[in-house]
Amino acid sequence: MIRTSKAQWNGSLKDGKGTVSLGSGAYDGQYSFSSRFESGTGTNPEELVAAAHAGCFSMALSAGLGKAGITPTRISTSAKVNFEKVGDGFSITRIDLVTEGDVPGIDEATFIEHAENAKKGCPISRALGAVEITLTAKLVNA
């Protein structure tokens, strides 16, 4: 499988504007210096990484539970990408995953164990291996 997306940037770093488009057509939007380094309108690469990581992790956790014969009702994950000035440039320095699961029939320790395995095995986590990834996992059975 090969997945594609594209971006176009027009102009200088501070005054320019860009667009990003997912190959599936599910998203097409703008980004700018302001949306990346300030609080401007539009997305930014780090926000897209956060969305990809949260989605990938949730699916990996569901898959791991499924392999153990456990069917989750709901897995909800947020990812916070820490983007900071490091030396002369900027880097993603840490990603904080926070997940909650409604998973009937298991205890919190079992849920946390599966969540830790998903954090290690999720393809996005593996691709971002140079970045510290933290995890907070909570079982919230209804």
| Mean pLDDT in residue range 80-88 | 95
Give yes or no for residue 54 having a pLDDT over 80: yes
Q: Give tens-digit pLDDT for 59-83.
A: 999 999 999 999 999 999 999 999 9
Q: Read off the pLDDT of each residue in 35-47 and give the average, rounded to a whole number.
A: 94
Question: Given pLDDT bands bounded at 50, 70 and 90, which one contains residue 142?
Answer: low
Strands (E), the chain: 5-10, 17-22, 28-32, 74-86, 89-102, 132-139
Q: What is the rounded CA–CA span in Å between residue 12 and residue 67?
A: 50
Q: What is the distance between the alpha carbons of residues 86 and 125, in angstroms, rounded to a whole number?
A: 21
pTM above 0.85, yes or no: yes
How is residue 129 written in tokens?
């291996």
Close Cβ partners of 21 (under 8 Å, ≥ 6 residues apart): 5, 6, 7, 27, 28
- Kindly tell me if the per-residue pLDDT of 97 is higher than 90: yes
Q: Any idea how long the chain is?
A: 142
- Pick from 13, 18, 17, 14: which is nearest to 5 by CA? 18
What number is the average pLDDT over the span 88-102? 97
